[in-house]
Structure 1
Amino acid sequence: MTVEDIRKILGAKVLVGEEHLSEEVSSACGSDMMSDVLAYSKDHSVLLTGLCNPQVVRTAEMLDIVCIVFVRGKKPDEAMLSMAAERGIILLSTGHRMFSACGMLYEAGLHGGAI
């Protein structure tokens, strides 16, 4: 699945990285706890979160996460947008709640896999 597919499924707005929407994503993770995301650690994944601070971008960079989707309409500040752009991480925002967004992606065939 591509990030563009994810954008369409979630009706998300692209905040950063529109030029990278053709990137492939192989799995997903939904969490507001970056310690859980660190334990998850899969390459080429998408992170769904309601946490809106620079640690999210730093965590994504460490784990080769392609895209971060902010749920519940959350929008990062300019510093986070710049940080993500510099690191080539795509940022999306959707009005869906995390549970719904994860379910929509799962139903469309994007799975998280076992740990």
Structure 2
Amino acid sequence: MAESQDPKTSNQNPKPPVQLPPEPPIELNNNGSSNSGQRIHYPNPPEKVNPDTTTLRDQWRFAIRQYSKWYSHAWGTAIFAGGAFFALGWIIKGGNPLPSKDPHLSKSQVSSSKHDD
């Protein structure tokens, strides 16, 4: 195979995307009835052809970055909320809200207080 025909080293531009003729707009005639049997025109119809691999790769990387950002924000919010509720419990109770972490209580006192309810 000659070097000029090798697709990996070729300096030629890829094929331009295929231009399809525009579809005529769909008119809905809603005479006070339901839309049964009528096609609905969506504002963003699906593409007719798949985009090239570079575009898909860029979109995928962007989606991963967005998901990672949202995931980390969700964890940060959850940790912050947990700390805030723990602090609120400490303020309301006037001490440690977790009885298992109180050094003055023994295990028998904690278990007996559960059964006294």
TM-score by length of 1: 0.20
Q: Which structure is richer in relative contact order (CA contacts within 8 A, separation 6 or more)? A: 1
TM-score by length of 2: 0.20
Say which one has the larger Rg: 2
Which structure shows the higher strand fraction?
1
